[in-house]
Structure 1
Amino acid sequence: MPHGREIFHAGNADLGQLHESRWQWLEQAVGPAVALPTEYPDGYHVPQHRHSRSQLLHALVGVVLVTTRHGRWMVPPDHAMWIPAGTEHSVEMLGDVSMRSVYVMPQAIPGLPEGLRVVGVTDLMHSLIVESEKLPQGGVLEGRGGLIMNLLLHEIPTLPERPLGLPFPSDHRLAALCRRFVAAPSPHATIDEWADAAGMSRRSFTRAFQRQTGLSLSTWRQQACLFAALPRLADGEPITRVALDLGYDSVPAFITMFKRMLGASPRGYMRGARDSGEGVRRPSGSLRLESP
């Protein structure tokens, strides 16, 4: 039976049985929240599954890609993904990943997020997650342990949302355009070009894209560029090279987009991840994004 001090090392056992036993154990656990650590090798894929608890998925080291029928979300270091209870999802490891997950009962406290989202992990939340995994798991905690888990729960609704989701439209014409874009991101794609390629009027296109993704084309395009840029920046590639490869005419233009989306310059953002003590590790292989 897993508990807070036992780290699951994917690769050291039958992985299918490991996950199946963990999910069964989670269904039997009591208490509002359970914190479990896992170590994953590069390229490992957790198949489609769901939990009766919501999951706060936090990678201490490495980058993960979470896929649902609604789209894909990238979770770099210093971030976490909130996955509501009952949501079918799979997880792909981009590089060696040291994962810490907190599984939360849906009605544990008022105000928990209702939808999928990537959030920034504050210093306080990072410390709470690290402390929570040391506690006995699966039961009702009292004293210091109970206080830690209670504060962790109340911090979840306050975590800042980050625009690291990339939902795909359901229309096959629009989805094809999105797949083409993420294969070769460029900041110069226009609404008129996309509308013409889809055989739609500008007005019909913008309405359909907004309705099916929840985002404007401009915002979606910027998020796609972030998906392409973050792993390369984490690997220490020069900002100039990344910006030019993505089609930006100048480094300042790329930095302006990055700051608008993530609230910090690329250098400041990556330095913040390193300064948090989590490390920044480059995922090997290419970043593949497809319509679910």
Structure 2
Amino acid sequence: MQFNSPNDINALIEQGFDLVEHAADPVVALRRQYPGGLLIPLHRHSRTQFLYARSGVALVATERGRWMIPPDHALLIPRGIEHRVEMFSGVEMQSVYMRDYEHGDYPCVLSVNELTRSLLAEVVKLQKPDKNDERSGLLFDLLMHEITRLPVRELGLPFPEKPSLAVLCKEFLKAPDPAASIDNWAQRLSMSRRSFTRLFRAQTGVSFVMWRQQACIFASLPKLASGESITSVAFDTGYESAAAFTTMFKRMLGASPRDYMRQQAGNAE
């Protein structure tokens, strides 16, 4: 479903909320197409949400943290947690709302495999299991089983609340600059180096250097998907060597860039 005005957005949110909250079925699946720049305001669900970005990049923010969702990953959001969603680009979102799925107190990012992706494509067409269609029930049951098996990825990139600092972070994600430095960012915010480093850590919980390394991994995903070499992507995203880039990439995504690309190519077949 697409929309072109604030009224369309409000109608979409209300429609989805009513369907999810009032459905008698234990599982509800929805597909939405969101434009870049859209902000879905704070809301919560009485069901655990499996929020999958089939394409594009989204940021989910809660009082407990902020999570980036790159392509082919999903965010599991426990029931009752208030969250807002910001689209960094056009996003095709597929969500599954599960009444009987329990998942701790914090959201987590999951890597979505080929089987889960195929199941999602089917269930969002159905929205809810059809009691008169055995295949429908089996698809939803298998999807629920597969979700419990998906690996967790450490992709909770910290993101600041302070608007001026958030602007710089968004700009960096869109166009990573290997020359970006503490002094440069401090100057743009009219702050001293010391004040900036204190602010950045207070807002994100990590140092500027660590955040930049993690952010560069996010920025590298579209480049790798387009076929650029690992060495080229490593230097473009500010790493001193392909080895250093590979180490950080594997730490975050659980596979080397080469294995990741091979996996993505296999998923696309």
For 2:17 and 2:68, locate their aligned partners in 1 and report how far apart those are by CA, in whole Å. 23
1:220–1:94 CA distance, 2 compared to 1 (3 A): closer
1:93–1:168 CA distance, 2 compared to 1 (3 A): closer
State the match for 1:157 in structure 2.
148
Aligned length: 250
State the match for 2:251 in structure 1.
260
TM-aligned CA deviation for residue 185 of structure 1: 8.1
**Quick one: which amino acid aligns to residue 71 of structure 1?**
G
More helix by share: 2
Query: How does the TM-score come out when normalised to structure 1?
Result: 0.68
1:71–1:237 CA distance, 2 compared to 1 (3 A): farther
State the match for 2:126 in structure 1.
135
Alignment root-mean-square deviation, CA: 3.9
TM-aligned CA deviation for residue 229 of structure 1: 2.8
Larger RCO (CA under 8 A, 6+ residues apart): 1
State the match for 2:94 in structure 1.
100
For 1:240 and 1:117, locate their aligned partners in 2 and report how far apart those are by CA, in whole Å. 30
In the alignment, structure 1 segments of 5+ residues that lack a partner are 1-7, 190-195, 279-292
In the alignment, structure 2 segments of 5+ residues that lack a partner are 182-192
**Quick one: which amino acid aligns to residue 27 of structure 1?**
E
TM-aligned CA deviation for residue 197 of structure 1: 4.5
2:77/2:106 contact within 8 Å kept: yes
SS at 1:158 equivalent: coil
Residue 66 (structure 2) pairs with residue 72 (structure 1): yes
1:158–1:167 CA distance, 2 compared to 1 (3 A): same
1:116–1:141 CA distance, 2 compared to 1 (3 A): farther
For 2:3 and 2:49, locate their aligned partners in 1 and report how far apart those are by CA, in whole Å. 19
Identity rate, percent: 47
SS at 1:58 equivalent: strand
SS at 1:165 equivalent: coil
TM-aligned CA deviation for residue 251 of structure 1: 1.4
CA deviations over 1:75-120 (Å, ceiling 9, x no partner): 1222111111122222222332222110111xx15x6454201101
Residue 48 (structure 2) pairs with residue 54 (structure 1): yes
1:31/1:141 contact within 8 Å kept: no
Query: How does the TM-score come out when normalised to structure 2?
Result: 0.74
TM-aligned CA deviation for residue 243 of structure 1: 2.0
